[in-house]
Structure 1
Amino acid sequence: MKLLSAGRMGLASILALVFSIAQAQQQPTSFSKDRKVWTSSQRDSVRRVIAAALTYPSWIFNSNFVLYQTTAHSGLKTFYIADPEHSKSIRLFDGNELVELSSAYLPKSVNPIQVDFSVQGVSKTNPNILLCSVQGTVLQYDLKKGVFTEPIPGNTTSISRPINPMPRNDIWTLYTKDRAYGIYAENHNLFLKKSGALGKDSVVQLNYDGNPNYSFARKTVSNQKRGQRGPWLGEWLGDTHIGFALRSDQRKVRDLSLINSLALYAPVRVDYKYELPGDEDVTQYELWLLNADSAKMRQVNIDRFPDQEVKMNQNQQSGGIYFTRESRTVDTIQLCRVDPYTFKTTVLIAEVGKPILNDQLQTYTVINEGKEVIWWSERTGKGAYYLYDQKGKLKNAITKGDFVAGNIVHLDTNARYIILEGFGYKSANNPYHKKFYKVNLDGSGFVELTPGQGDHATTLSLDKKFIIDRYSSVDSLPKCEIRDMKGKVRASIPMLDHRTLKDYGLNAPILQKVEAADHVTDLYGIIYTPADFDPHQKYPVICNVYPGPQVDGIPLGFDIARSNNEKLADLGFIVLQFGYRGSSPLRGRDFYTFGHGNLRDYALADCKYVVEQLAASYSYMDLDRVGIYGHSGGGFMTAAAMLTYPDFFKVGVSSSGNHDNNIYGKFWTETYQGVEQTKPTTVDSLGRLHASFVSSAPTNIELAKNLKGRLLLVTGDMDNNVHPANTIRLANALIKNNKRFDLMILPGIAHEVSGDYYSSLISNYFVDHLKNWKGFDVNMVK
């Protein structure tokens, strides 16, 4: 389309202008005959211009029109409408034309570059009339005549709703659909409100045993401690007067403590509930049903596995109350239905997954008032959706083939199809890139909606006939197309040309596929090179690591902001970020569970072999200067790598690492290392199933004697996820082994460490110790 060419030419001219300005400010350095090196400020100038020029199209309400805009180097915007039904784009006006056309209706003059314009919808009576806002003034625009006029009554698409101010103390009350009853929580207990005549409501307290660790209140931003009045944990079942809630009991769960050294006047101890691997007392779950008509509550027996994990979906239908219960060993899950009138619990679907289930992607959807269930399973090795009837009998597989089915983004029970995310389909060149597919509930009619290479994000039109498909990868700028439900392009949105970026000094990361240490499995990742990269030089190598297993953290799509990897590379390093075996749930059961039972070491051999492979192919990587860093699980892996391959990894920065997984979260260690039941199941004094479990994981503390390189340990002293004791215990082990190391305690910082000081801490450590590595005597002088 001509529009696309115009968009690319516009960017070229923009960058040419920025380039000329940057040259006037500071001439770039030249290290070769054909290549110029840009300074950081010059590259940032280009990034700002590109960010302003990126296009973000959106659907216009009540239509299949898409509004988008392009931006010239002066900042002047031009507005367009894409019409996928007729496969065309329409130029509306630029900022100058917009101001001129609408000036008669605006209270004062407007700067064309700063003019605010949006489209709220299309006229109900005439699809050629756009209902717009110009500087906050509501106008209508005639697409055929090209003129603005004041809106005609009856054309508006807005929906008027009666406003019934709610009393301040009633905002947390959840009412039945007929508003006959309402329920709220206060001081962790439940209160039932019955609507009375003349606004005189009656209130009944339903329970008296609530406390902060055994509460019916839902946590909210304004109700952190759940003590004051707030919303309850549950919901009403469809249009009935039956309510239900899943209540957790943490009264016996152990407390961990931190010291807030920055508290006013004096340090303060902060306690919180935290389950450790193998703990006898862990969270228990109770299902409570409420009959509002009788103002009675009843607990339903849902026990099947000792210390089971119970989850419940919201917005349940009136066909029954559904929940899943999962064994503590994380290898068995059941979908159950409770009859709200007989209180009978029926197992509909039971699934066993060895060594563990894929907890990250496991999901289900109850449809057609409980007549059918869509169920996700990894039973074939790759996650797929299956359709069951109301009795739990399998009807058919919905998705098939060698790819992993992700979230369902749209479900049409009348037309009987779903639109879903998918990973690793045969057309994808990267199994981590998200793509979208449409398939009928009977498994027929499979369509790839987004065939372009890259990581995709989509937005459906209101009538679900079209999608806006925006996609990119880390080494290319976004592309955008409007596609129909057969995956056919119906309109293209002008986007920027990534080839222009290379011409003007912005290094694109290098996407790379390599072998795992087994010489069979493909691994995917990114190479970052310095802005002044010279392939004839030798550069130290830094691995940015996170081993998963729940996510690997590898960037997938284009981001105009300069990443920390790029900033580190610009200091004179080659930075690598790869996904290793066991690092992601998106590549199927065998890949995801690779590290099970080997939680400390599973990713280390792959990490080392990736560096060795790349160095064999790219002579600019210096194998004598290899560093590593990471946060959380990446901090754990960093220390493990330094202590397992002490002659290979010379410098490491380990932040907030779970160095002793035996004092990290139960959910993590028991799931990914493993847990065993050691005693038969019994019934405790409260009538609950009880058993003993054991879980033990290897630690970095055991390897402390192996340290040879420079190691910086970092932790926040208020980390209530990975307790600082993990870092302190490793530090203690290094001291006992007479090792020199560096330790940074960040005051007042929890687990999510960020900010300029933290990133500078990492970069300075590598500049100081890895860039000119000459060896290091790690042992203390006696």
Structure 2
Amino acid sequence: MLRPFRHFQVAGAIAGFGILFAAMAQAAPTREDIDRSVGLRESWQYLTRDVAWPARWTPDGAAFTYRKTVEGGFAFETVDARTLDKSRAFDQQRLAIALGNALRRPVKPLRLPFETFDYAGDRQTIVFSLDEAGWRCTLADYRCEALVDPSRPRGFGVVRDLSAPADNHPRLSPDGRLEALVEDDNLVVRKAGGGDAVRLSSDGSAGDFYDPETIAWSPDSRRLMIYRVRPGYARHVQRVEAAPAGQGQPALRSQLYPKPGDTVDQERPVLIDVASGRHTEIDAALFPNAYQLSAPRWRPDGNSAAFDYVRRGFGQARIISVDAATGVAHAAVTEDARTFVYADRRFAQDVGPAGNEIVWASERDGWNHLYLIDGRSGRVKNRITRGDWVVRDVVRVDEKKRQVWFAASGMNAGEDPYFRHYYRIDFDGRNLIPLTPERADHVVSFSPDMTLFVDNYSRVDLPNVSELRRARDGALIAPVTKGDISRLTAAGFRAPEVFTAKGRDGKTDIWGLVVRPRNYDPARKYPVIENIYAGPHDSFVPKGFWPFGYHSGGDKVIGMQALADLGFIVVQIDGMGTANRSKAFQDVAWKNLQDSGFPDRIAWHRALAAQDPAYDISRVGIYGASAGGQSTLNALLFHGDFYKAGVAYAGCYDNRMDKISWNEQWLGWPVDGSYSAASGVDNAARLQGKLFLIVGEQDSNVDPASTMQVADALIKADKDFDLLVVPGGEHSVGRSTGPIDYVTRRQFEFFVRALQ
């Protein structure tokens, strides 16, 4: 009561009731205002109609399915590709009951917890992903079960969990006569169906074993390739769950969790002639110090086998081809990089049964493009694509027609360079055919025979439209769905603004979004809050329709509007160091994760403030999760003169504490000074501004000790900060699972106190 009373006295003394009402209109939000903003997602998310997700085709190509918004939630619909007749994909009421029984929790029919599904074989069984696990439901009797992966788990793909058994089921030879498996760490073969085993190796041991999960038969059943493995360092992260449900005492949780610099499993390919038992261990000169090898695969003609190699430190990637008769290896293609080869975006496909040609994706000219490689010499035969734009995805390589179907962005002048469009091109780089003309971001689903496709396109100001088109030339066959947002608009929704400004170099366009309060008054001054995620592995500013479009970052952007309604202007920006632009654009992050594109972001903020007097860059806050949490902390460590307050969720604040896979990709190997330079622990004494750290106690993605080590360093540096540890909370705490309302409310209240 004290605060309104003092407001009344001051306002009355100065200028009467008119100024009093103006002062009240700009007063700090109340708890009721904050609770209302926290509930915005629930209020808005079911107001759209016919906003569809990208389609999935049935195995026979006769129909396609998709999820769309309906009254009260979502419905799955099937469309006959010939007649365009629509029907429900399955009985959602029965599926909800079956899935709820399997999950042991209620499931609402119009809120099924998955976005897409595929048919398994026919239309009587569907499979989908839920909580990072596979699920299968039969539609004849409506029964659901989780799919169990029998393979041995690996810590981030590079260290096997030896406490779990390997999948050692007998691998049947192509001719059906023999089966191979491992006994006592050695490879054996026997007649199909059982019988006496014949040892094909005798030198295996627990510390140097033959891995049954890597057994690969040659097409003629004469040879085998298998990996022999020396185990890496089995680092485990230990977490205490202080308040486990249903029990009074804490519980200890353990997770295999390799970190940067740890020894990874050493895999050595071995070629074995089954009849003679002759072993050939492949010379590792072409794949030294491997970070990872792919599973071995035989070419269809049986004359060679191949595997992919990434060198530790990510400076080189190769396809290694091994001659079946001699065991001699050669590099079918090599990719070298001054900084890093982006391992997750590599693409390669053999052309022909012998692998004499390879379609290969490379950034060697500064942009991600496709090349036709001579698989015998490793030399480039010709370029397939070229230009100052980026191949984003390869959909299909047609060997017979010698054509490639692919998605790309940045090809259309004057358009958002992140918009994805689809194209077809010949192997020789001629006859480039655009298939998706609308000025929007496209996600295309091709029929199995590549004669038709469903184009799902949208923009932040255009609800999703789905159309059936002819694959030959992109010609429209028929509309499928068109999103209706009239009720959402009536509830106050307004599309965010797209804003571009020049980056640190004064030349490169930096793209972002601006979300203003729904009661925005241009005569006021608004504090600014930036929603940051600056991981080098992708770009993050939504390009599709929000808040409910596919890959739109919907939860994050609804959160931006909810936060804006409390009296802020909220923005999201893709600065340098992120992906989907040029190689140089992404390379800014190499050994430089503390950068997070801040010079570009600050230039963008200043450019918008120069145009908009309401944009108050004397009061700028920032928030983010995971790598965005690290960036949030770094904003206050390295740019505390600009950013005044930050909320950091589940951050990987010291990259030496985080998972091996993500961090060695961007900071390299061996661990060097670049890890310390980006460390929130080592730089904690530089903190300026107000900081709120939030972490889930049971975070299995980023070791939660990373947050506590920052807290320890801040205490030692005598720096004030806020800390919230959510008991039992996972990595997604406060975002998509967990006590989201409580955590979000705490974030909103923090920014109100810190910036208003």
TM-score, scaled relative to structure 1: 0.71
In structure 1, the residue matched to 2:369 is: 384
Counterpart of 1:742 in structure 2 is: 722
Distance 2:69 2:737 in 1: 32
Displacement of 1:58 in angstroms is 6.3
- Counterparts of 1:247-646 in structure 2, within 5 Å, are 247-251=228-232, 253=233, 255-262=235-242, 267-268=251-252, 270=254, 272-277=256-261, 281-294=263-276, 298-304=280-286, 306-312=288-294, 316-317=298-299, 318-369=302-353, 370-392=355-377, 393-426=379-412, 429-484=415-470, 485-497=472-484, 501-503=488-490, 505-561=492-548, 563-571=555-563, 572=566, 573-584=568-579, 586-646=580-640
Aligned position for 1:769: 750
Where do 1:24-43 residues align within 5 Å?
Answer: none
Shift of residue 579, structure 1, vs aligned partner: 1.0
Moved more, 610-619 or 414-423: 610-619
Structure 1 stretch displaced more, 641-650 or 750-759:
750-759
Contact 2:636 2:643 in 1 (8 A): yes
**Do the aligned partners of 2:500 and 2:604 also contact (CA within 8 Å) in 1?**
no
* Contact in 2 for aligned 1:525/1:554 (Cα 8 Å): yes
2:710 paired with 1:697: no
Segment of structure 1 superposing worse, 613-622 or 540-549: 613-622
Contact 2:530 / 2:623 at 8 angstroms: preserved in 1?
A: yes
Distance 2:75 2:315 in 1: 58
**Shift of the alpha carbon at 1:208?**
7.2
Q: Measure the CA separation in 1 of the matches of 2:704 and 2:123.
A: 55
Return the alpha-carbon distance in structure 1 between the equivalents of residues 636 and 662 of structure 2: 23
The answer (yes or no) to whether the contact 1:82–1:491 under 8 Å persists in 2 is: no
Aligned residue in 2 for 1:649: 643
Q: How far 1:57 moved relative to its partner?
A: 6.0
Equivalent pair of 2:730/2:738 in contact (CA under 8 Å): no
**Preserved contact between residue 275 and residue 282 of structure 1 (Cα < 8 Å):** no
Contact 1:427 1:451 in 2 (8 A): no
In the alignment, is the contact (CA less than 8 A) between 1:651 and 1:766 conserved in 2? no
C-alpha displacement of 1:580: 0.9
> Matched residues in 2 for 1:200 and 1:674: separation?
47
* 1:126 corresponds to: none
Q: Is the 8 A contact 2:560 2:571 kept in 1?
A: no
1:50 counterpart = 2:48: yes
- Structure 2: which 5+ runs fail to align? 1-24, 26-32, 89-108, 111-117, 125-165, 549-553
* Partner Cα distance (2:41, 2:706) in 1: 40
Question: Which amino acid in the other structure matches residue 431 of structure 1?
Answer: P
Q: Are the counterparts in 1 of residues 594 and 634 from structure 2 also a CA contact under 8 Å?
A: yes
The answer on whether the counterparts of 2:225 and 2:296 sit within 8 Å (CA) in structure 1 is: no
Is this contact kept in 2: 1:568–1:763, CA < 8 A? no
Partners of 1:212 and 1:568 in 2: CA distance? 53
1:202 aligns with 2:187: no
Residue type of the partner of 1:242? R
Amino acid at match of 2:582: G
Residues 49-93 of structure 1: CA deviation (Å, up to 9, x unaligned): 52466487665775777789999979999997665xxxxxx6759
Structure 1 position 616, deviation (Å):
2.8
Partner of 2:709: 729
For 2:656 and 2:69, how far apart are their aligned partners in 1? 55
Give the % identical residues. Answer: 26
Are 2:596 and 2:631, in contact at CA under 8 Å, matched by a contact in 1? no
Is the Cα contact below 8 Å between 2:460 and 2:496 reproduced in 1?
A: yes
- Unaligned stretches of 5+ residues in structure 1: 1-30, 32-36, 84-89, 96-112, 115-119, 122-130, 134-168, 218-230, 677-691, 776-782
CA-CA distance at 1:257 after TM superposition: 3.4
TM-score, normalisation: structure 2: 0.73
Alignment deviations for residues 610-645 of structure 1 (CA, whole Å, 9 cap, x no partner): 223223333333323321111221111111101222
Shift of 1:602: 4.5
8 A Cα contact 1:182 1:192, kept in partner = yes
Q: Deviations over 1:235-267 (max 9, x none)?
A: 32334342323455334x262431334577564
- In structure 2, relative to structure 1, the CA distance for the partners of 1:206 and 1:711 (3 Å cut) is farther
Residues of 2 paired with 1:607 and 1:535: CA distance? 23
Task: For 2:348, give the aligned amino acid.
Answer: Y
Matches within 5 A, 1:676-715: 696-698=675-677, 699-715=679-695
- Residues 480-514 of structure 1: CA deviation (Å, up to 9, x unaligned): 22233222323333413567753553222333322
Instruction: Report the Cα offset of residue 342 of structure 1.
Output: 0.8
Structure 2 contact 184–205 (Cα < 8 Å) conserved: yes
Aligned residue for 1:245, secondary structure, equals strand
Residues 715 and 727 in structure 1, CA contact (< 8 A), matched pair in contact too: yes
Tell whether the 8 Å contact from 2:280 to 2:327 is kept in structure 1 after alignment. Answer: no
Give the whole-Å Cα distance in 2 for the aligned partners of 1:43 and 1:715.
Answer: 22
C-alpha distance in 2, partners of 1:639/1:504?
35
Which secondary structure does the structure 1 equivalent of 2:752 belong to? coil
* CA distance in 2 between partners of 1:76 and 1:717 (Å): 35
The corresponding residue for 1:242 is: 223
Shift of 1:770: 2.4
Give the whole-Å Cα distance in 2 for the aligned partners of 1:461 and 1:636: 42
Q: Secondary structure at the match of 1:486?
A: coil
Q: Which moved more, 1:628-637 or 1:360-369?
A: 360-369
Alignment-mate amino acid for residue 713 of structure 1: L
> 1:347, CA displacement in angstroms?
2.1
Q: CA deviation at 1:568?
A: 4.4
Q: Structure 1 stretch 207-216 or stretch 175-184: which is displaced more?
A: 207-216
RMSD: 4.1
CA distance, structure 2, for counterparts of residue 770 and residue 67 of structure 1: 43
Q: 1:498 to 1:671 in 2, by over 3 A?
A: same
Question: Amino acid of the residue matched to residue 644 of structure 1?
Answer: F
Q: Does the 8 Å contact 2:497/2:514 carry over to 1?
A: yes
Tell me which amino acid in the other structure corresponds to 1:495: K
Question: Residue 235 of structure 2 aligns to which amino acid in structure 1?
Answer: D
Asked if structure 1 preserves the Cα contact closer than 8 Å seen for 2:168 and 2:182, the reply is: no
> Structure 1 residues 314, 631: CA separation in 2 closer, same or farther (over 3 Å shift)?
farther
Once the two structures are TM-superposed, the CA of residue 556 in structure 1 deviates from its matched residue by: 3.1
Q: C-alpha offsets along residues 110-148 of structure 1, whole Å, 9 cap, x if unaligned?
A: xxx99xxxxx99xxxxxxxxx999xxxxxxxxxxxxxxx
Conserved in 2, the CA contact under 8 Å of 1:653 and 1:762? no
Aligned residue for 1:570, secondary structure, equals: helix
Q: CA deviation at 1:344?
A: 0.4
- Cα shift at 1:409: 1.2
CA contact (8 A) 1:565 1:575 kept: no
Kindly tell me: are residues 63 and 570 of structure 1, through their superposed partners in 2, closer, same or farther at Cα, counting changes over 3 Å?
A: closer
